[in-house]
């Protein structure tokens, strides 16, 4: 944790984030905003990628008043029972009055603090356009990266994890598109938007064939590895805005 800070109310934080991330303009797979209500005042904030038990326990050890994540606890399609792993995640939050804030697609999309913007910055890529459903995909010039092999090497160095690479036809790169996490379904939209290579977290079986048949490179750089940068950027923003103590806790995930 950083230096001792001021505090903000839970409601102030939620309404600030709601406006900043334009939460109401997204159709999402789960609720964005305050997912678990804790104590009314926040001084110490922990950010992380996923509201896993390991992150919750680490936040408890930090005596956090609030946790800020990209992947929250509640998703469409869950059966809604508070049993097993869900009970074990929720119990310490409720017992200790820890607030859980979660922002999924709104955090992917934010032009400065979001996962896509922060991944681009890490790779030295700047977007001059958007593509795909809800305009979540980023696309921009290849910025001196010669080809798919060079892009894979850059991503491996920058993210600390070797990507799965389908090199396409090995063409010189002019335009690179990216969308963090499980955005393999955006590959065709990236191709239509003029990308020579597409970076995301995960690959599924069909993308390998599409890469071979279209010549456009596909790089799967890790779901966690590509989505590790938005939550800490947003946490730092809140710390500066409200004078909170903030610490990002990275729970390693090979997926
Ligand atoms: Zn994700």
The alpha carbon of 25 and the centre of ligand 1 are apart by a number of angstroms equal to: 18
**Distance in Å, CA 212 to ligand 1 centroid:** 26
- Share the mean pLDDT of the chain: 97
Beta bridge partners of 71: 50
Judge whether residue 61 has pLDDT over 90. yes
Separation of CA 71 and ligand 1 centre (Å):
6
Task: Tell me, in angstroms, the distance from the centre of ligand 1 to residue 72's CA.
Answer: 10
Please give the Cα distance from 228 to 180 (Å, whole number): 10
Look at phi and psi of residue 187 and say left if phi exceeds 0, alpha if psi is from -120 to 50, else beta.
Answer: alpha
Three-state DSSP class for 171? coil
181 alpha carbon to ligand 1 midpoint, in Å? Answer: 4
How far is residue 167's CA from residue 162's CA, in Å, rounded to a whole number?
14
* 224 alpha carbon, distance to own chain's centre: 8
Using CA atoms, how far apart are residues 229 and 221, in angstroms rounded to an integer? 14
**pLDDT over 80 (residue 2):** no
Q: What distance in Å separates the CA atoms of residue 48 and residue 227, rounded to the nearest whole number?
A: 10
Residue 146 burial (CB count, 10 A)? 10
- Residue 3: the pLDDT is 53
* Res 1 pLDDT > 70: no
Percent of the chain clearing pLDDT 90 (strictly above): 98
Can you tell me the mean pLDDT for 167-172?
96
pLDDT at 4: 55
CA of 50 to the centre of ligand 1 (A): 8
Report CA(222)–ligand 1 centroid distance (Å): 10
CB 98 within 8 A of CB 66: yes
pLDDT, tens only, 7-58: 999 999 999 999 999 999 999 999 999 999 999 999 999 999 999 999 999 9
Tell me, in angstroms, the distance from the centre of ligand 1 to residue 139's CA.
19
């Amino acid at each position: 944790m950083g230096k001792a800070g001021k505090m903000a109310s839970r409601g102030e934080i939620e309404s600030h984030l709601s406006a900043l991330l334009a939460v109401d303009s997204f159709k999402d797979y789960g609720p964005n905003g305050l997912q678990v209500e804790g104590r009314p005042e926040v001084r110490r904030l922990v950010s992380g990628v996923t509201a896993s038990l390991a992150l919750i326990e680490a936040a408890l050890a930090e005596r956090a008043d609030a946790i800020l994540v990209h992947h929250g606890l509640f998703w469409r399609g869950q059966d809604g029972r508070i049993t097993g792993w869900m009970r074990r995640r929720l119990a310490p939050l409720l017992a200790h009055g820890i607030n859980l804030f979660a922002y999924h697609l709104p955090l992917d999309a934010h032009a400065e603090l979001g996962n896509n913007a922060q991944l681009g910055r890490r790779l030295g890529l700047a977007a001059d356009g958007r593509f795909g459903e809800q305009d979540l995909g980023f696309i921009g010039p290849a910025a001196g990266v010669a080809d798919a092999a060079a892009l894979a090497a850059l991503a491996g160095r920058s993210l600390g994890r070797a990507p799965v690479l389908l090199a396409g036809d090995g063409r010189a790169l002019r335009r690179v598109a990216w969308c963090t996490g499980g955005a393999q379904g955006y590959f065709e939209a990236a191709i239509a938007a003029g990308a020579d290579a597409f970076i995301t977290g995960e690959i599924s079986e069909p993308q390998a064939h599409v890469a071979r048949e279209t010549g456009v490179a596909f790089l799967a750089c890790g779901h966690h590895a590509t989505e590790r940068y938005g939550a800490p950027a947003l946490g730092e923003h809140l710390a500066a805005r409200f004078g909170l103590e903030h610490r990002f806790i990275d729970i390693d995930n090979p997926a």
